Amino acid sequence: MSTVPSFTNGPAKDATKRIPPEQFMQQLLNGMAQFDASDLHLKVGFQPYYRVAGTLRKIDAGLLDSSEYVEAMLNPLVPRSRRHEYEERGDLDFSWHGPDGSRYRVNVFRASGDMHSAIRRVKGKIPDFEELRLPAIYRKLIEQTHDGLVLVTGVTGSGKSSTLAAMIEYINATRQEHIITIEDPIEFVFRPRKSIVSQREIGIDIPNYGEALRYVVRQDPDVIFIGEMRDKETVLAALQAAETGHLVMGSLHTTDCMQAFSRILEFFPQVEHSFIRSTLANSLAGICCQRLIPTIDTKIGRAPATEVLLNNPTVREKIREGGEADVPAIIEGSTGEGMRNFTMSLAEMIEGEVIYYDTAMEYAPNREALASKTRGIKVAQTSLVGRLKGRTSKY
């Protein structure tokens, strides 16, 4: 059977009872490309779900009511050499390559004693800044930064990995550098262009981030990419590498630039905060935060609203003094330097007819500020807003 499942809002069918598990798994993976789904969710007791344009959609397929069936679907994907990690910890991240060259980032995890999974499809082509609809400051930041720390932040599913891949590929194409990536797992595969690229995967090439970062500076890197800054050891190694002349890029799970500072400090005891603030003030180059917003054009699906903080003397002083609460005001007053906040970004997206006015208001961190910023724009789009109002839910 080569067909792929469709969506449904109705009751579960009994299709999985008649389809061999490996075959059903391949159908679901094929369907991700057909529906442009970013993620596939498999949970015992539920039907499979795709995430399409940020929304979970139930697949018209059988109820996964058997733990044995789900394990039989997932077992061919799990690396044999790492199966013991799942058995010991109940959680495992890895990458998987399909026979057609497709690539996936897979997480299998134990819940209520059963094996569940979240599978993300990794598009083979590395996107550029234009394809990702990112503002010009993203490119300019990477063009002008040869050492220091560049953070890309946002919630899960906000496009951080794609943005960082675009940054790395830009360096790869334009500079003669040695780029080392430390990822869990590897998502985008970089082919050497002007640069040398060494990609290391946790669990395959190195046991953990700590081990990888302990020796990375001995490997003569110019650029170090850390897939996720998730603990004290990783953050400290990143700051030290950035402070000693390397360009370090990494991701953090925060909703805005200001929150990135408190997130970093959370990894350290209070007595070390002064030291970390000083190190961060010296090493930070910039923070790019993004949120994906449903667009008017269904072919695009979602586009990023962005906030960018660049480290200038004022920002440096605020970091040292613990004055990150002033970051929003600094960004607002420094747009001429390339800084931008979410209100400015959403206003640009409304003006460019990328998103609906009502949708922008749903995602706005400050609705009054956005209403003020778009007063003239809103008048120019009155007919558009009136015609489309009430239709945002389908996106």
In DSSP notation, 201-238 reads EBTTTBS-HHHHHHHGGGG--SEEEES---SHHHHHHH
| pLDDT the model gives residue 383 | 39
- Is the pLDDT reported for residue 7 higher than 80? no
The predicted model scores a pTM of 0.83
36 vs 53: CA distance, rounded Å: 8
**DSSP letter at 340?**
B
Q: Where are the beta strands (DSSP E) in the chain?
A: 39-42, 49-52, 55-58, 91-97, 103-111, 114-122, 148-153, 178-183, 196-201, 223-226, 247-252, 284-294, 302-310
276 vs 235: CA distance, rounded Å: 10
Q: What is the mean pLDDT of residues 362-379?
A: 86
- Is the pLDDT reported for residue 361 higher than 70? yes
248 vs 211: CA distance, rounded Å: 17
Burial of 5 (0-12, 13-18, 19+ CB in 10 A): buried
- What percentage of the chain carries pLDDT values higher than 70? 91
Identify whether the C-beta of residue 109 lies closer than 8 Å to the C-beta of residue 101.
Answer: no
Quick: pLDDT tens for 48-91: 999 998 889 999 888 898 999 999 999 999 999 999 999 999 99
Handedness of CA 198, 150, 142, 308 (dihedral sign): positive
- What percentage of the chain carries pLDDT values higher than 90? 77
For the chain, give the number of residues.
395
- Is the pLDDT reported for residue 394 higher than 50? no
Quick: pLDDT tens for 173-230: 999 999 999 998 888 999 999 999 999 998 889 988 989 998 999 999 999 999 989 8
The per-residue b/e assignment along 38-68, b for 16 or more CB within 10 angstroms, e otherwise, is bbbbbbbeebbbbbbbeeeebbebbbbebee
Q: What is the mean pLDDT of residues 24-35?
A: 92
- Give the distance from CA 290 to its chain's centroid: 9
| pLDDT the model gives residue 187 | 87
- Is the pLDDT reported for residue 6 higher than 50? yes
CATH 3.40.50.300 intervals, the chain: 136-340
- Is the pLDDT reported for residue 274 higher than 50? yes
Phi, psi (degrees; rounded to nearest 5) at 48: -65, 150
- Is the pLDDT reported for residue 26 higher than 70? yes
CATH architecture of 136-340: 3-Layer(aba) Sandwich (3.40)
The mean predicted confidence, pLDDT, of the chain is 90
End-to-end CA gap in the chain: 31
Half-sphere exposure of 123 (CA within 13 A, CB side): 17
Phi, psi (degrees; rounded to nearest 5) at 51: -105, 115
In a 3-state reduction of DSSP, which class is residue 78?
coil
Quick: pLDDT tens for 150-170: 999 999 889 999 999 999 999
Q: What is the mean pLDDT of residues 263-273?
A: 97
Q: What is the CATH number of domain 16-122?
A: 3.30.450.90
| pLDDT the model gives residue 379 | 42
| pLDDT the model gives residue 372 | 93
Q: Which of 66, 63, 36 is nearest to 50 (CA)?
A: 36
What are the structure tokens assigned to 232, written together?
């004290």
Q: Please name the residue ranges forming H helices in 244-389.
A: 257-266, 273-283, 313-321, 327-332, 342-351, 357-363, 367-373, 375-380, 382-388
CATH 3.30.450.90 intervals, the chain: 16-122
Quick: pLDDT tens for 228-250: 898 999 999 999 999 999 999 99
Listed in sequence order, the residues at least 6 apart from 2 whose beta carbon sits closer than 8 Å to its beta carbon are: 27, 30
Listed in sequence order, the residues at least 6 apart from 199 whose beta carbon sits closer than 8 Å to its beta carbon are: 180, 181, 183, 186, 189, 190
| pLDDT the model gives residue 54 | 86
| pLDDT the model gives residue 124 | 78
| pLDDT the model gives residue 92 | 94
Burial of 82 (0-12, 13-18, 19+ CB in 10 A): middle
211 vs 189: CA distance, rounded Å: 22
Amino acid at 364: A
